[in-house]
Structure 1
Amino acid sequence: MTSAALELAFRSAAVALLVVLAASLLSDFRNVLAARLGAAFALGSAAHAASYSVGVSSLVPAWHAPLIALSTGNIVVFWLFTRALFDDDFRLHWWHGSIWGLVTAFSFVGCLWIAPGGNARFSVTMVNLIVLGFIALAVVQTIASWPADLVERRRRVRVFIVCAAALYGGLNAVLQIFVAGSDVGDFANTINAGVLACIVAAIAYAMLRVDGTDLFPATAETAPAIVFSQPAADDTADQKLIDALMRLMADERIYRHENITIGVLAGRLKIPEYRLRRLINQRLGYRNFNVFLNNHRIEEAKAALADPAQAAVPVITIAMDAGFQSLGPFNRAFKAVTGVTPTEYRRLKVNAI
C-alpha cells in the first residue's frame, strides 16, 4: 500500500468514527448541552481529519478553505465542550458564538487572502497561537473542575478525552508554527493521520466502557434532599463516616468556609479523598461536590430568607454568610433548586405568613 493510500485510509477511518460518535451523542443525549457540544466537536474534528496537512503551503484551494476554517473554529468548540463537560452549571451565551465566528472567519480569510498574499507564515502562526490559547483555557478548566466530579469512572474518561485532544492539538499547533509555509512531504501527513485515527479510536473505546448516563446524564443534575442520617447502611464504617460528615455540615457548617475542597473535608474526617468522593456519590446521591456544598448553603439561605426577623438583611449578605462568594452564582444555584429567585422566595414566604 502506498503512503497516499495509507493516509487516505487513516483519514477515512477517523472521519467515519467521528461521524458515528456525533450521531450517537445526538441520538442518545440531544437534550444535554455537553453532549451536543461533544457532537459538534466530533464533526469539527472530522473536518480537521479531512483537511489537515502538515506544513501547508500558501496556496489553498478555494473548496478546501471552509474545511480548514471549520477545523480551526473547532478549537473554540473544544474549549466550550470541556467547560460543559466539567461544569454542570455552564450555559452557552451569544458571545461564545461570536468568538467561534471570529476565529473561523480569521482562518478563512487567512486561507484565501492573507497566506496567498505572501504572508503564509504570519497567517499560520497566528492561527496556531489562537489554537494553543484555547487549548490552555481548556486544560485550566479541566484542572479547576476535575476534583469536584464525584463519579470515579467518568472522571477518568473525561480527563483522558481532554488530555488526548489537547496533546494532539497542541503538538500539531507547535509543529505547524515551526514548518509554516513549507511542504514536509507525504510521510509526515500519513503519520499524522494515523495518530489522529488511533486517538479517535481510543476516545471512542473509552466512552464505550463508561455508562452513557455517567458521562452525559440524561437530565441536569438536581440536588438530592439533605440527608442527616441513613437508617440502614450496608457498611457500618461508612455509616459512621456519613454521620460524621453530616455533623460537620450541620453543626460546624463547614460549607461556609472559603475555598472548601473535598481534600480539606477528607482531611477533617481523616480518610482518603477517593473514599469520601465515593460516600457522597454512592450513599448520598450526589454527582458533583459543588452541588453537595451548595445544597447545604441554599438550605441555610432558605431559612434566613423565610425568617421575618431577617427581612431587612440584604440577599447578598445572606448569600455570603451561607458560603457563596458572590451574588450571581448564588442566584443561579438557588433558582435551580427552588425554581424562583431568592427575592421571589422571600416575598412568597412573607406573603404566606
Structure 2
Amino acid sequence: MSDADLLAALLDAAWRGGLIALLAVLAGRLWRARRGSALATTGGWLAAGLVVQLVSSAPSFEARVPLLSQVPCIAVATANSVLFWAFAQALFDDDARLGPRHLLAWLAVVLLAALNCSWLARPGASAAEQVAHVVLRLMPLGFALAALQATLAHWRGDLVEPRRRLRLLVVAGGVLYTAAQLALRLAGDDGRLSTAAALVDLAGLALLIGLMLRGGAGLAAALPVVAEAPAAAPVDAPLAAEPSPQTDAADLQLAERLQQLMRDEGLTIAALAARLAVPEYRLRRAIHGQLGHRHFTAFVNSWRLRAASQALADPACREQSVLHIAMAAGFQSIGPFNRAFKAAQGLTPSEFRRQRLAET
C-alpha cells in the first residue's frame, strides 16, 4: 500500500469513527429530551442504521468482505431511507405515531434490497432482472421524496419558528444527501464507492449530522409535548388562551385582534395575516408565543370547538340545531365537526348539549 493509499485509509477511518460518535450524541440528545416519543425512537433507529451504513460502506470493508456476506448490511443501509421518512414525519407532526406501516415498509425494503444484491445483481442476469435491479436501487429515492412531502406538508401553518427553519434543513440536507449517495453508487463499479466518492459521501453525511446537532434548538422545539389524555375544555373559559409569561405587547394586541376573525370559512394563516395587515411571521409568533399553539390548524379548531361548546351549553341557543352552531363556529360540514368535538370533549355534540342543559 502506498503512502497516499495509507493516508486515505486512515483519513476514512477517522471520519467514520467521528461520525459514529456524533450519531451517538444526536441519538442521546433526542432520547434525553423526550424519551419514548416517536421522534426519539425513529432518531435512535436511524442513528443505528447509519452506523451500519458507515461501517459497511468503507472501501476496505467492501473490498475484503464477500458480497453475500455484505448483503445484510447493504439491506439495512438501504432501509435507512424508510427510517428517514418516518423521522421526518415525527419531526414535523406533533400527532405522528409509529405504526405497523412503518415496520412493514422497513421490512419490505430490507427484503427487496437483500434480493436485489444476492440475486438480481448476479452476472448473467436477464434483461428483465437487470431492469428490476435498477428499479429496486431507486427505492431510497422514493422514500426521500416521501420525506420531502412530509417535510413540506402543512409548512405554512407551522407556528414553531425553529421547526420551520429545520424543515428547510431536512429538505436541503437529508433529501439531497440521499439523492447524491444514490448517484455515487450508480456511478461506481458494481455499485461500490471509490476512495474519492467515499470521502465525498462522508463529507455530505458529516455536514448533515453537524447541522442537525447545531440545530438543537429546532429539534427541541419540534419535540411534541407529552400530555395526558385530552380533557374537555371548560366552556366558560375565555376563547383566548393564557398569554405567555414573556408577553410582547404588540403580539398580545395582535392575538386579541385575530380572535374576531376566527369564524371565517377556509381560513388560512396567509389570509388571516392579510386581513390583519401584519407579516405572517408576526402572526405565527403571536399565536405560538401568546396563545400557546404549535400549529395553525390546531389553533383554529381549538377556538372553534370552544365557541361551539359555549353555544351548545347556552340555554338561549336551545332552539338552534347542532349544524347551525357548527357552521356559525366556522366548520364547513357536520362530519368533521362531530369527530373533532367528540375527540376533544369525549361526547357527541348532542350528548354534550343534553348533559349541560340538564345541569342548568
- Report the TM-score, using the length of structure 1 for normalisation: 0.80
- The answer (yes or no) to whether the contact 1:69–1:104 under 8 Å persists in 2 is yes
- The answer (yes or no) to whether the contact 1:148–1:290 under 8 Å persists in 2 is yes
- Counterpart-to-counterpart distance in 2, 1:145 and 1:232: 28
Alignment of 1:72 with 2:85, yes or no, is no
Alignment of 1:108 with 2:117, yes or no, is no
SS at match of 1:27: helix
Over 3 Å counting, the alpha-carbon distance change for 1:173 and 1:53 in structure 2 is farther
Match of 1:30 in 2: 35
TM superposition shift of 1:321: 7.4
Over 3 Å counting, the alpha-carbon distance change for 1:269 and 1:179 in structure 2 is same
- The answer (yes or no) to whether the contact 2:53–2:77 under 8 Å persists in 1 is yes
Report the AA paired with residue 97 of structure 1.
L
Alignment of 1:347 with 2:358, yes or no, is no
- Counterpart-to-counterpart distance in 2, 1:216 and 1:228: 21
Alignment of 1:282 with 2:292, yes or no, is no
- Counterpart-to-counterpart distance in 2, 1:327 and 1:320: 15
- One of 3, 8, 23 as aligned partner of 1:3: 8
Match of 1:147 in 2: 156
Alignment of 1:296 with 2:309, yes or no, is no
Match of 1:271 in 2: 278
Matches within 5 A, 1:16-27: 16-27=21-32
Give me the identity figure in percent.
32
- One of 126, 130, 144 as aligned partner of 2:139: 130
- One of 193, 206, 222 as aligned partner of 2:202: 193
Over 3 Å counting, the alpha-carbon distance change for 1:136 and 1:329 in structure 2 is farther
- Counterpart-to-counterpart distance in 1, 2:93 and 2:100: 18
Over 3 Å counting, the alpha-carbon distance change for 1:228 and 1:21 in structure 2 is closer
Report the AA paired with residue 257 of structure 2.
A
Structure showing greater Rg: 2
Match of 1:204 in 2: 213
Report the AA paired with residue 109 of structure 2.
V
Over 3 Å counting, the alpha-carbon distance change for 1:182 and 1:76 in structure 2 is closer
TM superposition shift of 1:270: 0.6
Report the AA paired with residue 85 of structure 2.
W
- One of 68, 93, 99 as aligned partner of 2:99: 93
SS at match of 2:254: helix
Matches within 5 A, 1:51-70: 51-52=56-57, 61-70=67-76
- The answer (yes or no) to whether the contact 1:148–1:289 under 8 Å persists in 2 is yes
Tell me whether 133-142 or 187-196 shows the greater mean CA deviation: 187-196
- The answer (yes or no) to whether the contact 1:25–1:35 under 8 Å persists in 2 is yes
Equivalenced residue count is 337
TM superposition shift of 1:108: 1.4
TM superposition shift of 1:161: 3.3
Alignment of 1:244 with 2:257, yes or no, is yes
- The answer (yes or no) to whether the contact 2:20–2:51 under 8 Å persists in 1 is yes
TM superposition shift of 1:206: 2.1
Tell me whether 321-330 or 141-150 shows the greater mean CA deviation: 321-330
Report the AA paired with residue 238 of structure 1.
D
TM superposition shift of 1:52: 2.7
- The answer (yes or no) to whether the contact 1:18–1:42 under 8 Å persists in 2 is yes
Structure 1 gaps of 5+ residues are: none
Match of 2:331 in 1: 323
- The answer (yes or no) to whether the contact 1:124–1:176 under 8 Å persists in 2 is no
**CA deviation vs aligned residue, 1:245-264 (integer Å, no higher than 9, x gap):** 11112xxx12xx22x32111
Report the AA paired with residue 170 of structure 1.
A
Match of 1:14 in 2: 19
SS at match of 1:149: coil
Alignment of 1:45 with 2:50, yes or no, is yes
- Counterpart-to-counterpart distance in 2, 1:45 and 1:311: 56
Tell me whether 41-50 or 177-186 shows the greater mean CA deviation: 177-186
Tell me whether 20-29 or 106-115 shows the greater mean CA deviation: 20-29
SS at match of 2:53: helix
- One of 256, 268, 284 as aligned partner of 1:261: 268
TM superposition shift of 1:301: 4.4
TM superposition shift of 1:112: 2.1
**CA deviation vs aligned residue, 1:184-238 (integer Å, no higher than 9, x gap):** 632221232233223222322222xx17642314415979973189799965543
Report the AA paired with residue 100 of structure 2.
W
- Counterpart-to-counterpart distance in 2, 1:3 and 1:29: 39
Tell me whether 41-50 or 72-81 shows the greater mean CA deviation: 41-50
- The one of the two structures with greater contact order (alpha-carbon pairs below 8 A, sep at least 6) is 1
